[in-house]
Amino acid sequence: MRGRLDAVLIASLIAPVTSRIGLVPTAVPTHTEPFHLASAFSTLDFVSRGRAGWRPQVSGRPSDAAHVGRREFRHVDPTKVDDPVVATQVQELFDEAADAVEVVRRLWDSWEDDAIIKDVPTGRYIDRDKLHYVDFEGRFFRVKGPSIVPRPPQGNPLIAALAHSRIPFEFAARSADVVFITPRDTDDVRRWVDDVRASERVVARTLAPLKIFADLVVFLDSTTAAAQERKQHLDQLDGSAHRSDAAIFVGTPHDLADQLLAWQANGLAGFRLRPGVIGHDLDVIVDELVPELQARGVFRDSYDDALLRERLGLGRPVSRYAVSA
């Protein structure tokens, strides 16, 4: 699809009719003010009762910039990673995104958890002493704050990043809670997990260690031959073989479970599976892969009422501006 509806709005529509799944839409800080992002994801966290997250994605495409109309980018080939012009533009985009995440986190913290008091006798809805200016001044943004939305149920909704190379790895290490990687095989898993941990050391990460998830595109069927035949048929209809930044698995749910466990043993916290065909492979994931993993004792049998951050073992951060009693 070339045209897509806004992911944050879709997540806000999905939130009230779901009760357990995490909702982590993509939003582009390159063209969206951090104040607006903070408000949007605070609202999503309230609507979802603590299940919201944000995946920042940079955009250096001239067409995107022209569509928004606030800035201009010259065309560069992002595959030419050794080109100094490309490297400079990519670095600036991720530096800007890191500043945007920092501003958003500060705005989420700008209301203390107990800022809303609803004091009827005095007619006060909030305790003004528990709202704080963030006074952020950086290379890309100057934001005074505070937010116009109270502190989200999670304190800070989850921040996730997709990373393939050094600059995105370091962005994730500075700014994210979860990083998605796209290894091709077990050796890649080991190497990329090491790269993520090295990036954490380079940026002197102070947050909890990143949770590392691997992406996989999956085409599933009752036999490997049936899965291969189905994918080949889809490739013929499309006129070319399906390509992806992530590895493509073609086989049975049982074999996929074997691969997931083999990869997990090398330092992964989990996986983000991309169904090759929504109408088929998503059903197989739910109806066959999940029971297979449950039978092996490696997947939950039910969901609790924990916040998304807590479910991933990240805990709820305290507002940096809160004054202790």
pLDDT digits (tens, 9 = 90+) for 45-60: 999 999 999 999 999 8
Residue 4 has pLDDT above 80, yes or no: no
- What residue ranges define each of the domains in the chain, with the CATH number in brackets? 1-162 (3.20.20.30)
Q: How far apart are CA 54 and CA 38, in angstroms?
A: 10
pLDDT digits (tens, 9 = 90+) for 68-78: 888 888 887 76
DSSP reduced 3-state for 118? strand
Among 54-58, 78-82, 227-231, the minimum mean pLDDT is found in 78-82
The secondary structure of 265-323 as a DSSP string is TTT--EEEEEESSHHHHHHHIIIIIHHHHHHTT-S-SS--S--HHHHTT---PPPTTPP
- DSSP letter for 218, please: E
Q: How far apart are CA 153 and CA 183, in angstroms?
A: 34
- DSSP letter for 131, please: B
Tell me the pLDDT band of 325, cut-offs 50, 70 and 90. Answer: very low
Could you tell me the two tokens for 212? Answer: 């590392």
* pLDDT of amino acid 11: 97
**Does residue 36 or residue 62 have the better pLDDT?**
36
As a whole number, mean pLDDT of residues 15-20 equals 94
The secondary structure of 37-81 as a DSSP string is HHHHHHHHHHHHTS-BEEEE-----HHHHHHHTS-------TT-T
pLDDT digits (tens, 9 = 90+) for 98-123: 999 999 999 999 999 999 999 999 99
Tell me the pLDDT band of 1, cut-offs 50, 70 and 90. Answer: low
**Does residue 71 or residue 11 have the better pLDDT?**
11
Helix (H) or strand (E) holding 54: strand 53-56
As a whole number, mean pLDDT of residues 263-291 equals 96
Cβ neighbours around 320 below 10 Å, total: 13
* pLDDT of amino acid 3: 67
Q: What are residue 176's DSSP bridge partners?
A: none
* pLDDT of amino acid 76: 77
* pLDDT of amino acid 188: 96
Residue 299 has pLDDT above 70, yes or no: yes
* pLDDT of amino acid 71: 87
Find the angle CA(57)-CA(300)-CA(55) to the nearest 5 degrees: 5
pLDDT digits (tens, 9 = 90+) for 146-195: 999 999 999 999 999 999 999 999 999 999 999 999 999 999 999 999 99
Residue 302 has pLDDT above 80, yes or no: yes
The secondary structure of 103-166 as a DSSP string is HHHHHHHTB-TT-EEEETTTTEEE-GGGB----EE-SS-EE----SSPPPTTSS-EEEEE--SH
Tell me the pLDDT band of 247, cut-offs 50, 70 and 90. Answer: very high
Output the CA–CA distances (angstroms, integers) from residue 163 to 43, 167, 233, 266, 304, in the order listed. 27, 8, 31, 18, 30
Instruction: Determine what percent of the chain is predicted with pLDDT higher than 90.
Output: 84
For residue 190, give every residue at least 6 positions away whose Cβ sits within 8 Å of its Cβ, in sequence order, or none: 266, 267
* pLDDT of amino acid 131: 95
As a whole number, mean pLDDT of residues 208-234 equals 97
Is residue 35 within 8 Å of residue 110, measured between CB atoms? Answer: no
Average pLDDT, rounded, for the chain:
94
What's the half-sphere exposure (Cβ side, CA atoms, 13 Å) at 270? 12
* pLDDT of amino acid 77: 77
Q: Cα-atom radius of gyration of the chain, to the nearest Å? A: 21
End-to-end CA distance of the chain: 53
